[in-house]
């Protein structure tokens, strides 16, 4: 594996699994070679969607060059297809192709493909190996790391799922060149969040080198994405199942962010956009309870705006947001554990935030 050491962003180590996360530039074509160094799989089953098909073809030819046989399932893209109907279609395709326990599923795509392919892998034949090859910034930064896999029900998002870790994650930053700009910006929200909660230096890189980062400068963008990925990997390694109060820090901006997504029926905002507005609300809360100074609230706002992200919204309904927050699956017995900042790069939780302060923060993000 030494040859590929320079791309290694992190090794995730949980009680259930240890796996590498590689983040590099133009490395899809090395997948076959990397795979042959870490595993001797049987058949390989690629799951992708129609907009990622080109990248999946590159993966398939890299595999074939290293002597692996692969087959590809192309699902219809979009959150509305992250459901049990698609799961069933993939199960049937695997069964038809006589997939066995020793085989492997490779998810090539965004978070939708990764979540669904991972869920299929966790459950088909009581679990077969899988790997993540994320192609959106959000998936590179967030959904491919940590083993949360699942699908939506008509009653709510991600209601069915599992913790199921991949064998490896290979992220090729070059694949982001084909990603629509809005999707790219949405991913920057999660990356910036990692700096805000745990790494001041990372945040300052986002602040000071935005031109090269936003234009996906091969070396600079890859480097910063690798650093940000390492933060999530490290958190997940320490607290795989969100029980130790560490992984929860990744929820900065997500309490109100999720409520914004749900109360606008997932139609108005991409995930990262809603999280960006949610992070502003969380920063206002942090300021109101005397933790974060105003200058740092403004710095956060400036960086989010610079990366094309919204910081407020005209579509918010206060009562609906409060109602939605109450029914969030992370709300425990009516108490919300807020993630707040006490400095840039330093986050903690607080479950005593007064409702009045929350309402004021929601007013500030409503225009």
| 278 part of the interface to ligand NAD, by CB under 6 A | no
Nearer to ligand NAD, 95 or 159 (CB): 159
Q: Which is nearer to ligand NAD, 142 or 287 (CB)?
A: 142
In the complex, least distance from residue 189 CB atom to ligand NAD, rounded to whole angstroms: 11
Site for ligand NAD, residues 122 to 151, rule: CB under 6 A: 135-136, 138-139, 142-143, 146, 148
Q: Using CB under 6 A, which residues numbered 71 to 90 contact ligand NAD?
A: 77-79, 82
Dihedral sign, CA of 109, 115, 120, 122?
Answer: positive
Distance (Å, rounded) from C-alpha 165 to C-alpha 288? 39
Alpha-helical runs (H) found in the chain:
31-38, 53-65, 84-96, 111-123, 137-138, 181-198, 200-208, 210-214, 218-238, 254-263, 271-288, 294-306, 318-326, 355-364
Catalytic residue among 185, 234, 251, 296: 251
Residue numbers 140-199 binding ligand NAD by CB under 6 A: 142-143, 146, 148, 157-158, 175-176, 178-179, 183
Catalytic residue among 167, 258, 301, 364: 258
- The closest of 288, 303, 278 to 350, measured between CA atoms, is 288
**Integer CA distances (angstroms), 338 to 87, 238, 286, 349, in order:** 34, 20, 9, 5
In whole angstroms, the minimum distance from the beta carbon of 300 to ligand NAD comes to: 21
| C-alpha 51: how far from chain center | 19
Is residue 31 within 8 Å of 133, Cβ to Cβ? yes
Q: Print the SS3 string covering 128-165.
A: CEEEEEECCHHHHHHHCCCCEEEEEECCEEEEEEEECC
Does 221 help bind ligand NAD (rule: CB under 6 A)? no
CA distances, 21 to each of 11, 89, 230 (Å): 6, 29, 8
Does residue 232 carry a catalytic annotation? yes
Is 342 a residue of the active site? Answer: no
Residue 273 sits in the site that holds ligand NAD (CB under 6 A): no
Residues 346-365 that bind ligand NAD (CB under 6 A): none
- What is residue 248's three-state secondary structure? helix
Query: Do residues 45 and 94 lie in contact, with contact meaning Cβ atoms separated by under 8 Å?
Result: yes
Q: Does the footprint of ligand NAD cover residue 109 (CB under 6 A)?
A: yes
Smallest distance from ligand NAD to CB 45, Å: 18
Whether 214 is catalytic is no
* Catalytic residue from among 148, 174, 193, 227: 148
Given the complex with ligand NAD, which of 78 and 302 has the nearer CB atom? 78
111 binds ligand NAD (CB under 6 A): yes
The answer to whether residue 34 is catalytic is no
> Closest separation between CB of residue 1 and ligand NAD, Å?
25
Q: Is 30 among the residues that bind ligand NAD (CB under 6 A)? A: no
Catalytic: 271? yes
Q: Is 226 a catalytic residue?
A: no
| From 34, 55, 82, 190, the catalytic residue | 190
Q: Tell me which residue of 178, 231, 176 sits closest to 203, measured CA to CA.
A: 231
Q: CB neighbours of 240 closer than 8 A, spacing ≥ 6?
A: 14, 15, 16, 146, 147, 163, 247
Q: Which of 30, 115, 240, 273 binds ligand NAD (CB under 6 A)?
A: 115
Binding status of residue 110 toward ligand NAD by CB under 6 A: yes
Which residues, other chains included, contact 89 with Cβ-Cβ below 8 Å and sequence gap of 6+? 73, 75
User: Helix, strand or coil for residue 13?
Assistant: strand
Binding site for ligand NAD (CB under 6 A): 49, 51-52, 55, 77-79, 82, 109-113, 115, 135-136, 138-139, 142-143, 146, 148, 157-158, 175-176, 178-179, 183, 271
The residues carrying an active-site annotation are: 126, 148, 190, 232, 242, 247, 251, 254, 258, 271
């Amino acid at each position: 594996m030494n040859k590929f050491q320079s791309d290694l962003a992190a090794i995730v180590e949980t009680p259930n699994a240890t796996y590498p996360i590689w983040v590099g530039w133009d490395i899809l074509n090395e997948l076959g070679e990397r795979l042959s160094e870490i595993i001797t799989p049987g058949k390989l089953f690629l799951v992708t969607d129609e907009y990622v098909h080109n990248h999946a073809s590159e993966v398939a030819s890299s595999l074939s060059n290293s002597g692996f046989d692969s087959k590809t399932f192309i699902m219809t893209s979009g959150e509305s297809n992250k459901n049990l109907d698609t799961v069933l279609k993939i199960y049937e395709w695997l069964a038809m192709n006589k997939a066995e326990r020793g085989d492997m599923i490779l998810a090539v795509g965004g978070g939708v493909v990764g979540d669904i392919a991972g869920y299929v892998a966790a459950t088909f034949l009581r679990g077969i190996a899988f790997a993540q090859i994320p192609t959106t910034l959000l998936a590179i930064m967030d959904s491919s790391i940590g083993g949360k896999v699942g699908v939506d029900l008509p009653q709510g998002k991600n209601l069915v799922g599992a913790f199921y870790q991949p064998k490896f994650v290979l992220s090729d930053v070059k694949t982001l060149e084909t990603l629509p700009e809005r999707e790219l910006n949405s991913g920057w929200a999660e990356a910036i969040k990692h700096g805000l909660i745990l790494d001041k230096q990372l945040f300052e890189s986002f602040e000071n080198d935005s031109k090269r980062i936003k234009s996906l400068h091969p070396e600079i963008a890859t480097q910063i994405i690798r650093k940000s990925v390492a933060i999530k990997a490290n958190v997940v390694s320490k607290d795989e199942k969100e029980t130790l109060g560490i992984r929860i820090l990744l929820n900065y901006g997500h309490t109100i962010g999720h409520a914004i997504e749900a109360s606008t029926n997932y139609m108005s905002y991409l995930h990262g956009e809603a999280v960006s507005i949610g992070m502003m609300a969380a920063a206002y809360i942090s300021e109101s309870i005397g933790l974060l100074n105003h200058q740092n609230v403004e710095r956060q706002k400036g960086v989010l705006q610079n990366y094309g992200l919204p910081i407020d919204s005209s579509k918010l309904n206060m009562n609906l947001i409060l109602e939605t927050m109450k029914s969030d699956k992370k709300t425990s017995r009516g108490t919300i554990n807020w993630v707040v900042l006490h400095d840039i790069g330093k986050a903690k939780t607080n479950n005593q935030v007064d409702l009045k302060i929350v309402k004021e923060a929601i007013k500030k993000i409503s225009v």
